[in-house]
Amino acid sequence: MSTVDLFNAFLFIAYPYIAGFVFLLGTIYRYRETGFKVSSLSSQFLEGDALFWGIVPFHIGLLVLFFGHLSAFLFPQLTLAWNAEPLRLIILESTGFIFAVSTLFSLIFLLYRRLTNPRIRAVTTTMDYVIELLLLVQVFFGCWVAVAFRWGSSWFAADLTPYLWSLLTFTPDTTAVYALPWQIKVHIVGAFTILLMVPFTRLIHFLVAPLHYIFRPYQQVMWNWDRKGIRDPRTAWSAARPKNN
Amino acid sequence: MDVRSQVSMVFHLDKCIGCHTCSIACKNIWTDRKGAEYMWWNNVETKPGTGYPTKWEDQRIYKGGWERTGDGVALKGAGKRRGLTNIFHNPNLPVIDDYYEPFTYKYLDLIESPAGDDQPTARPISMITGEPMDIKMGPNWDDDLSGTPDYARNDPNLEALSPAEREAMFQLERMAFFYLPRICNHCLNPACVASCPSGAIYKRGEDGIVLINQEVCRGWRMCVTACPYKKSYYNWATGKSEKCILCYPRLEAGYAPACMHSCVGRIRYLGVMLYDAERIERVASSPTEDLVENQLGMILDPFDPEVILAAKANGIADSTIHAAQNSPTYKFVKKWKLALPLHPEFRTLPMLFYVPPLLPVMASVKPVDNEQQAEKMHEIAKYWPDNWLYDTSTKDLWGTLDQVRMPLKYMASLFSAGDTEQVKDRLKKLMAVRVHRRHTTVGDIDAEQAQRALFEADLTAELADEIYYLTSLAKFNDRFVIPAAHREQAIEMLEFAGDVKGSTGFGFKSGSATRGS
Ligand code: SF4
Ligand code: SF4
């Protein structure tokens, strides 16, 4: 194997597994050991107005992009069938691109806000800068790829989906990936790097999105002891742990 | 009937001297930490005034509390739909400038500055950024500033008054103010609990204290919006919300909360009240004019055998029932009907009640001729050329109530959702107790007049003496009747007590019985 081959094998076979492994173990470790810190440190309380113009397009853009990539990964045939019609292809691609650009600009704006507002600087950690720059590079390359190598939604479904599935099924097949232009390779490696960084940065908060709120009753009362059973001689004690301790 | 017990509070506003000792006691114990410097779980405001955070009572700005919908109540600025759609950016979140930017001073500069021509000064610096700053606001910035255009005149409660009434209230000679100490109300229908997407906030079943589990809180900040009293605070350094915990570790050990223990005016009372949890939703969604009556209605009589039976069936300890029977808050709120909740129209069913202040209300201003008096004075005596006098005489018993310095409508906007009759009732009683006591101690009010006052206020001499006792003479144990926390039973839920049975206290089981081999 040549050095280039070796390097490629590392980037597209070993590295994804390392990233996935670190993500899994790191997340479990962080949740168990420093559960208190599993959230994103909101700075809206220190500065709220400018934040709105960055944070909302950023989150919405990122969600659209994420689910866009995810659907091409989960339903490649459907994506290709949809793209068979040029008009539909253009609608899909331009929607994605608009959200990508808005994500890019809102990221730049958020970074600017973080750097210029002394209050926000006071609550910023090095990791916040790291992850923001990483995302910036990632979205930037995503936009570049979208313009320079059309049409991404189609070749993603045709080339990358099989590659990602091969990784997931532990039978890595990298022939298609090796042949890709370097910009796309950077974007792929960037994606794995972000995955790897999740447990070490504020990105972790997406894992605790409070969707269970929808299903719970509004009011919550918790008891230290079984209030009905306490006077019953047959239940001198109970082995059930209460939820709040 | 689903009987539960609630540790409730009464603050007697006539007795508050505005010393802020309560706030300091709380600060020293709980919020003297990074990110919490700006928090005052206990704060004391001057009323009329804008309060802390500025204009917190104006829910058009802060969108706190519940509002009535067709068949129930819904959170005004949070809830499942609004909370989750605004999860990235909460448009109704107050920012730190609505409270104040916490500051300290560079004291070291006083000592370490090099010699020079000027005195060194300790410049104020921000406790967020560490940079020098100009102090624009503090937690009680409008302390004692009644009548000032920036503060008192922006009091949201003044909207209940006509422009003329407002002007009359702020005439320099009539100006009055009182103090309003505030902590979390540990509500029966807490908006903070309902708004928390993570489910981190809960009401403790045993005593009704509302707590935020810091491990579960993910800092979505919805409770800060939802609490209409702005008593849930966001810690900008830890990214978690925090609130008054009613000093539950002290309560469990039988001590009064720090703010109450330290209260100089002895205005604070704490005790258990039993209530019917089945009625929470119905009461919270009653028409505005019935809110106070209905809330008082769901508080149960701890002497009623049926209530006692239902309480026992619900696992409420005998000691708690006993505490409820001796509760000072039950007496003030329900038996004597002397106390009212703060802003019941927020519909959280707050369990901190206030005895409305009589003093600034009852005095009126009468013109007098001071010139004659001045002539009699020694020439070096200080003399103000005033021609008015505070008149606190009670000749025409309730007459002053209607031409008071602090309009009843203002009080009603604070304590009874606008119903002046409720406030008037309370003030009449307070007045009658005074008339009665003046008759017994000073004797310059005749028995007939004292009798009439009591009768009209719906009191008897015995009740009036009871009220007088608990108001003026009450000792520590009368003011705070704290139920036993029974943690010895609660521990059995944390650890399976059967595991250690037979372990002879040494943590292993085999030993004592089978020794010999
Ligand atoms: S006063 Fe506010 S923080 Fe306290 S229980 Fe009521 S809604 Fe919650
Ligand atoms: S310590 Fe008591 S008297 Fe002093 S401000 Fe607080 S509540 Fe009022």
pLDDT at A236 over 60: no
Beta carbons of B221 and A45 less than 8 Å apart: yes
Q: For position A230, what pLDDT does the model report?
A: 58
**Residue that the structure tokens 């102090």 belong to:** B135
Which residue range forms the structural domain that includes residue B385?
362-397
Q: For position A241, what pLDDT does the model report?
A: 45
- Residues B413 and B261: their CA atoms lie apart, in Å, by 30
Task: Note the pLDDT tens digit of each residue in B134-192.
Answer: 999 999 988 988 767 788 888 999 898 888 888 877 776 667 889 999 999 999 999 99
The ligand placed nearest to the CA atom of residue B65 is: 1
Write the DSSP assignment of B334-394 as a string of letters. Answer: IIS---EES-GGG-S--SEEEEPP-HHHH-EEEE---HHHHHHS-TTS------EEEE---
B83 touching chain A per CB within 8 A: yes
Residue B376 lies in a domain: yes
Mean pLDDT of the region A197-224: 93
- Residues B232 and B225: their CA atoms lie apart, in Å, by 8
Q: For position A242, what pLDDT does the model report?
A: 44
User: A42 contacts in B (CB within 8 Å)?
Assistant: 219-221, 234, 239
Of these ranges, A74-83, A223-232, B172-181, B352-361, the one predicted with the greatest mean pLDDT is A74-83
Beta carbons of A121 and B129 less than 8 Å apart: yes
Q: What is the mean pLDDT of chain A?
A: 90
Mean pLDDT of the region B117-146: 91
Q: Whose CA is nearest to atom 4 of ligand 1?
A: B184
Residue B375 lies in a domain: yes
Q: For position A176, what pLDDT does the model report?
A: 85
Task: Note the pLDDT tens digit of each residue in A4-13.
Answer: 888 888 999 9
- Residues A192 and A18: their CA atoms lie apart, in Å, by 9
Contact between residue B92 and residue B225 where contact means Cβ atoms under 8 Å apart: yes
Contact between residue B395 and residue B452 where contact means Cβ atoms under 8 Å apart: no
Substitution candidate for ligand 2 out of B28, B266, B267 with most atoms within 8 A of CB: B267
Q: For position B296, what pLDDT does the model report?
A: 97
Q: Which of B208, B189, B191 is closest to B278 using CA atoms?
A: B189
CB within 8 Å of B104: residues ≥ 6 apart = B124, B125, B127
Mean pLDDT of the region B190-199: 96
Q: What is the mean pLDDT of chain B?
A: 89
Residue B388 lies in a domain: yes
Residue B130 lies in a domain: no
- Residues B48 and A109: their CA atoms lie apart, in Å, by 42
Mean pLDDT of the region A76-99: 92
pLDDT at A234 over 60: no
The full set of domains in chain A, from first to last, is: 3-206+223-231 (1.20.950.20)
Mean pLDDT of the region B476-493: 80
Q: For position B515, what pLDDT does the model report?
A: 47
pLDDT at B8 over 90: yes
Per DSSP, B256 falls in state P
A232 touching chain B per CB within 8 A: no
Residue B367 lies in a domain: yes
Task: Note the pLDDT tens digit of each residue in B63-77.
Answer: 999 999 988 999 999
pLDDT at B9 over 80: yes
DSSP three-state, residue A185: helix
Q: For position B376, what pLDDT does the model report?
A: 74
- Residues A241 and B293: their CA atoms lie apart, in Å, by 39
- Residues B189 and B167: their CA atoms lie apart, in Å, by 37
Task: Note the pLDDT tens digit of each residue in B225-279.
Answer: 999 999 999 999 999 999 999 999 999 889 999 999 999 999 999 999 999 999 9
The ligand placed nearest to the CA atom of residue B261 is: 2
pLDDT at A245 over 50: no
Query: How many distinct structural domains can be found in chain B?
Result: 1
CB within 8 Å of B431: residues ≥ 6 apart = B358, B362, B394, B397, B398, B401, B453, B457
Write the DSSP assignment of A133-149 as a string of letters. Answer: HHHHHHHHHHHHHHHHS
B115 touching chain A per CB within 8 A: no
- Residues B332 and B11: their CA atoms lie apart, in Å, by 10
Q: Where are the beta strands (DSSP E) in B213-279?
A: 232-235, 240-243, 268-276
Substitution candidate for ligand 1 out of B8, B11, B183, B184 with most atoms within 8 A of CB: B184
pLDDT at B487 over 80: no
Residue B337 lies in a domain: no
Mean pLDDT of the region B5-28: 96
User: B316 contacts in A (CB within 8 Å)?
Assistant: 227
State the pLDDT confidence band at A244, using cuts at 50, 70 and 90. very low
Please indicate whether residue B390 or residue B469 has the higher confidence score (pLDDT).
B469
Q: Going by DSSP bridges, is the β-strand pair B210-212/B3-12 parallel, antiparallel, or unpaired?
A: unpaired
Contact between residue B483 and residue B317 where contact means Cβ atoms under 8 Å apart: yes
- CB-nearest to A45 from B87, B95, B206 is B95
Residue B369 lies in a domain: yes
Ligand 1 centroid–CA B228 distance in Å is 8
Task: Note the pLDDT tens digit of each residue in B36-46.
Answer: 999 999 999 99
Q: Going by DSSP bridges, is the β-strand pair B201-204/A221-222 parallel, antiparallel, or unpaired?
A: parallel
Mean pLDDT of the region A205-224: 92
DSSP three-state, residue A108: helix
Q: Whose CA is nearest to atom 5 of ligand 1?
A: B186
pLDDT at B513 over 60: no
Residue B391 lies in a domain: yes
Lowest mean per-residue pLDDT among A85-89, A240-244, B69-73, B487-491: A240-244
Task: Note the pLDDT tens digit of each residue in A12-62.
Answer: 999 999 999 999 999 999 999 888 889 999 999 999 999 999 999 999 999
Q: Which of residues 152-211 of B touch A (CB under 8 A)?
A: 189-190, 193-194, 196-199, 201-206
The ligand placed nearest to the CA atom of residue B351 is: 1
Ligand 2 proximity of B181 Cβ (cutoff 6 Å) = yes
Q: The pTM is what? A: 0.89
CB within 8 Å of B307: residues ≥ 6 apart = B1, B3, B274, B300, B301
Q: For position B129, what pLDDT does the model report?
A: 95
